Amino acid sequence: MRVLAGRSGDATKPYDPPCVKLVEVQFEPIGKVVFVSPGTTLLAASEAAGVEIATGCTRGMCGTDAVCIEGGGDGLQPAVLPEVATLERMGLGPRFRLSCATRVQHGVVRVRLGAF
Ligand code: FES
């Protein structure tokens, strides 16, 4: 049996690597799925999945990349400025987020493209 030292350098304990629980992001209606690390933006997740989302500023200000969250919204970081102001200016409800400004946290997030 091979024993690797942990962070403390204690070779008597098995190495226990940090475990990052990936977040599943589903893109509908095309049915593409990607698993990403917590903290990844929906825009970066879409790029990883090979899904194109039109963008403009990529800073949460123009609203070009608005998407509808169909499920798992509690697995997203809450919206903050400037995303909140942009969504409000656009008159979009609480199910909408800006993909460049929205970071995933946990669980399974279902994103509806083309709903805006
Ligand atoms: S690209 Fe402008 S708000 Fe996301």
Phi, psi at 9, each rounded to 5°: 85, 10
Q: How far does residue 68's CA lie from ligand 1's centre (Å)?
A: 14
Q: Please, which residues have CB within 8 angstroms of residue 15's CB and are 6 or more apart in sequence? A: 3, 4, 5, 6
Q: Which residue has the least CA distance to atom 3 on ligand 1? A: 60
- Amino acid making up residue 34: V
Instruction: Spell out the domain ranges in the chain.
Output: 23-112
Our mutation pick for probing the ligand 1 site, out of 41, 42, 61, 116, counting the most ligand atoms within 8 A of Cβ, is 61
Return per-residue pLDDT of the chain as tens, 116 residues: 444 444 556 778 887 777 889 999 999 999 999 999 999 999 999 999 999 999 999 999 999 999 999 999 999 999 999 999 999 999 999 999 999 999 999 999 999 998 77
Q: Which residue has the tokens 């899904």?
A: 51
* Predicted TM-score (pTM) of this structure: 0.85
Distance of CA 62 from the midpoint of ligand 1 (Å)? 5
pLDDT for residue 13:
80
Measured from the CB, is residue 84 less than 6 Å from ligand 1? Answer: no
Spatial separation of the C-alpha atoms in residues 83 and 81, rounded to whole Å: 5
Superfamily per CATH, domain 23-112: Beta-grasp domain (3.10.20.30)
Distance 108 CA to ligand 1 centre (A): 23
Report whether the peptide linkage leading into residue 82 is cis, meaning its omega lies within 30 degrees of zero.
yes
Residue 38 is predicted with a pLDDT of 97
In DSSP notation, the chain reads ------TT--TTS---------EEEEEETTTEEEEE-TT-BHHHHHHHHT-----SSSSSSS-TTEEEEEE-GGGBPPP-TTHHHHHHHHT--TTEEETTT-BB-SSEEEEETT--
Q: What is the rounded CA–CA span in Å between residue 53 and residue 101?
A: 13
